[in-house]
Structure 1
Amino acid sequence: MRLIGFAGWSGAGKTTLLTRVIPRLTGRGLRVSTIKHAHHRFDLDQPGKDSYEHRAAGASQVLISSAHRWALMTELRGAPEPDLRFLLSRLAPVDLVLVEGFKRDPVPKIEVHRAANGKPWLHPDDPAVVALAADAPPPGRGRALPWVGLDDVEGVAEFVLRFAVGVETVPWPS
């Protein structure tokens, strides 16, 4: 599976960057899927909607479908959070999967960094970081990595095309 992650601290601009990069990739004919890690409790449903009421009543899974999309919601109900490998296995085949978050997973990733956040860089301690997208050049310490400006959306898209699309499979550590 061809994939590349976008990792960084909250507020660095990962979602904003991805929503600007995705159209550049799909505009070149690639089929793209994403997986986003949520660090907090989230809910796609609203009280009063049938699917919400099904889950509230105790259904383990609710599949909702229309002429435009379908979604499968699974309640963990105390089970451990699924890992990235499991989640990837649930996706239909596409040309490229972009992963947002999962910063501790050993997949190739672009570190997204915003200096104003005052958070430490990930790349000095994460050998899976293959490039940096940041609003300022990285400090001199650590490995030398390709650096693209955080607002250089075309540059990030080009890096993703060269790096991720040229990779047939991503090795997963045992």
Structure 2
Amino acid sequence: MNQSQGGPQKSFQERIQRINAQHEEAAPPQGASASRRKRAAPEDKPKLPVVPFLIAAVLAAACVLIGSILAFHMKAITPNARNLFENSAAVLGPFGLAGLFLGVLMIGFGMRDKPHVLGIVAGAGVMYFAEPYLAYLLPDLWSGFYTPQHLENMLMRTGLVTPLGH
């Protein structure tokens, strides 16, 4: 390797000049930046989809009502060692049956996302607390679901009807 005295130094300087030339071509002019950063626009909060929420709420309310009705009618049936469904329903009670139906609703129908779960919680809670008031407003319909005496007891427990009937 027979190089002159400035050989490696010269090639190094040439490379630096090429790199600087490339940077100058790519660099924006001084004072005015070609690619300024833009401020991010404030994002809107994602809104709760109304339709899935309402569908889940109505289905959950129906599950709670059906669980309550089934549990009431299963109490009237005498226990039978051969009928597993009736025995299980009697043991679970209205909350267990409603929970079972709501589990099927969530897992079986794929209602596990946020709007559906919120709708299920809201619908189940509303039906649990609103059932006596619905029974008070629609006594003929509710006497078809339950016995008239159970309906009267339900209304007395919530204070909608007094024991004297006033």
TM-score (norm 1): 0.21
More strand per residue: 1
- Is the helix fraction higher in 1 or 2? 2
TM-score, normalization by structure 2: 0.21
Give the structure, 1 or 2, with the largest relative contact order (CA under 8 Å, sep 6 or more): 1
